[in-house]
A and B are shown apart, each in its own frame.
Chain A
């Protein structure tokens, strides 16, 4: 278990070598910038990988330009309540960068848009820069859509570094854009550019990864072990009737797609 130094006077923080399907990500963005599409894409991809996941949107009241946070919690035991502090922060809002950095758990991971000036240095976290503006500029999209599509850069970088399946990212975009090929492709091209850039330029130094059920099953993980822990967190659902339809491979069709909010099946 490696150690990280928090500050000269603090003891080093112990960080596990590998943390699978057990962390929360906070995306720190600007209201009205199109970040919701990016965040939901990651959320849906994790769901479709078979990982218990929840998303919470903390946003201002119809005021464009104010800070917005979106927190995704992935938890292999099925605990889906809000968790703080986050282990992973994705920061693209210059106005909240300091606060967002300070809120990151020791041993955690900061992804940040590299055009932002980091306000402080923390030795107890892993920091990954992301060339958001550069890759968005290079994207083959109309200039008026460039700011919106820029968020897909962090989708690609985060997906690559946390091992989120890009096929599932594509499916999530396809779902979001209702199969319209042009927006799906233009967004996914930017995701791919971000992921390719991360593969060529970043070295994985943090312990956090996601692993879909197919991979876990191949590695000998037993699904049955997870049933009793997974079930109670679903609000008293029927174990026998409810759970089997949710086990891997989950979310195969709209009828078992499992993201709901009140009154709307998404």
Chain B
């Protein structure tokens, strides 16, 4: 503890500058984050691709509101999932976190940095206006219970032990995550490399097709590894439930209430709150274990339902979209009535 402020807050002129500064800081070995909402994310698209491919840790908070366009800027939504899922050009896959309470907003605030550095990738945290602008009762926030995880960083003694032999983009451990140095490393072989154009394992520019494909496949492997590092989904089960609900984020209180109401009405449902993409293996297990799954979310098109379908096409018929987008936080009543209506249509 130095007792000094070891951080800087920078007012950027726009979202492009903000993400540029944050990626630049991450590139320079610092922990950096920026916050925005849907339209700002659109402006951040190119930099998101740069950070993904050059493997720069950075955290981006998205306080979701109603779009497209300026939309309803003071109303809430969960409608940026597909925007972030597919953000940037080429083949990209992004890590997304979904806090469901203000406690989790605080918790993910610091854990997102650990994940970004561990995975050497951008991490998008999807909050929304309901969480971000309203007052909530909560438990006191819990401060980090462990030192920060800077991931696979080679310090001077590590490079000495390796006789100076290391490669910035080499998958040594088979998990897709390479080692990096941080600027300021004083070892003569501790040179710092990052590259946003096509590169090989040593960060050298190359247009070799085989190398390109190999690097892209390693990035996909890294994304697979991320599943084990991200917050697990939260299960709230009910006795006798054969069907279930999947939801995420700030709809949690309304979903829990609806789940209890439906149980009283003789329709017990399990409830899985997903907290991250890529999905943890428990999500697939949950889908396997339930014959029917109602996907509850605050958007028009059922974006989480779409992403689940993309990830688990074999179970596509099990997903029933319960999506609603009027700018207001969901109510238990709407969830309950929608699920009952979906069930009735099915029985038809």
Asked if A235 and B100 sit within 8 Å, CB to CB, the answer is yes
Closest to A235 in B: B101
Looking at the assembled complex, report how far the CB atom of B210 sits from the nearest CB atom of chain A, in whole angstroms: 46
CA distance A261 to B132 in the complex (A): 6
The residue in B131, B251, B253, B332 that gathers the most chain A C-beta atoms within 10 A of its C-beta is B253
Stretch at the interface among A48-56, A114-122, A149-157, A219-227: A48-56
A65 at the interface (CB under 8 A from B): no
Looking at the assembled complex, report how far the CB atom of B339 sits from the nearest CB atom of chain A, in whole angstroms: 15
CA distance A40 to B255 in the complex (A): 25
B139 at the interface (CB under 8 A from A): yes
Closest to A83 in B: B331
Looking at the assembled complex, report how far the CB atom of B335 sits from the nearest CB atom of chain A, in whole angstroms: 9
Contact of A58 among B75, B273, B332 (CB under 8 A): B75
Closest to B235 in A: A236
Residues of B within 8 A of A80 (CB): 136-137, 253
Stretch at the interface among A182-190, A199-207, A251-259: A251-259
Asked if A81 and B105 sit within 8 Å, CB to CB, the answer is no
Residues of B within 8 A of A53 (CB): 137
Asked if B102 and A261 sit within 8 Å, CB to CB, the answer is yes
CA distance A56 to B102 in the complex (A): 14
A234 at the interface (CB under 8 A from B): yes
A238 at the interface (CB under 8 A from B): yes
Given A259-B138, A263-B109, A265-B141, 19 other A-B residues pairs in contact with their CB atoms under 8 A: A47-B137, A59-B74, A61-B74, A79-B256, A80-B136, A81-B251, A81-B253, A81-B254, A81-B330, A235-B103, A235-B253, A238-B139, A241-B139, A242-B139, A246-B137, A256-B140, A259-B135, A261-B134, A262-B131
Are A79 and B134 CB-contacts (below 8 A) given A58-B75, A59-B74, A245-B139?
no
B328 at the interface (CB under 8 A from A): yes
A237 at the interface (CB under 8 A from B): yes
Looking at the assembled complex, report how far the CB atom of A29 sits from the nearest CB atom of chain B, in whole angstroms: 15
Contact of A258 among B131, B139, B255, B331 (CB under 8 A): B139
Asked if A55 and B139 sit within 8 Å, CB to CB, the answer is no
Interface residues of B (CB under 8 A from A): 63, 72-75, 100-106, 109, 127, 130-141, 234, 236, 251-257, 260, 273, 328-333
Asked if A58 and B328 sit within 8 Å, CB to CB, the answer is yes
Looking at the assembled complex, report how far the CB atom of A176 sits from the nearest CB atom of chain B, in whole angstroms: 12
A249 at the interface (CB under 8 A from B): no
The residue in B131, B138, B252, B255 that gathers the most chain A C-beta atoms within 10 A of its C-beta is B138
Residues of A within 8 A of B332 (CB): 79, 81, 83
Asked if A233 and B257 sit within 8 Å, CB to CB, the answer is yes
Are A258 and B330 CB-contacts (below 8 A) given A79-B253, A233-B257, A236-B234?
no
Looking at the assembled complex, report how far the CB atom of A51 sits from the nearest CB atom of chain B, in whole angstroms: 10
Are A56 and B329 CB-contacts (below 8 A) given A61-B74, A234-B101?
yes
A1 at the interface (CB under 8 A from B): no
The 23 listed contacts between A and B (C-beta, < 8 Å) are A52-B137, A53-B137, A54-B135, A56-B329, A79-B260, A79-B332, A82-B329, A84-B331, A84-B333, A233-B256, A235-B253, A236-B273, A237-B101, A237-B138, A241-B139, A256-B140, A258-B139, A259-B138, A260-B102, A261-B132, A261-B133, A261-B136, A262-B63
Residues of A within 8 A of B328 (CB): 58, 82
CA distance A43 to B135 in the complex (A): 9
A145 at the interface (CB under 8 A from B): no
CA distance A12 to B62 in the complex (A): 48
CA distance A258 to B236 in the complex (A): 24
Asked if A82 and B135 sit within 8 Å, CB to CB, the answer is no
B-facing residues in A39-77 (Cβ within 8 Å): 40, 43, 47, 52-61
Asked if A260 and B132 sit within 8 Å, CB to CB, the answer is no
A232 at the interface (CB under 8 A from B): yes
Contact of A40 among B104, B135, B254, B273 (CB under 8 A): B135
Encoded as 1 (CB less than 8 Å from any B CB) or 0, chain A from 168 to 182 comes to 000000000000000
Residues of B within 8 A of A238 (CB): 139
Contact of A61 among B73, B135, B140, B256 (CB under 8 A): B73
Which 7 pairs, one residue from A and one from B, show the smallest C-beta to C-beta distance? A235-B101, A81-B254, A81-B253, A242-B139, A82-B329, A79-B257, A260-B102
Asked if A234 and B331 sit within 8 Å, CB to CB, the answer is no
Closest to B101 in A: A235
CA distance A55 to B256 in the complex (A): 18
Asked if A237 and B131 sit within 8 Å, CB to CB, the answer is no
Residues of A within 8 A of B103 (CB): 234-235, 237, 260
CA distance A61 to B136 in the complex (A): 21
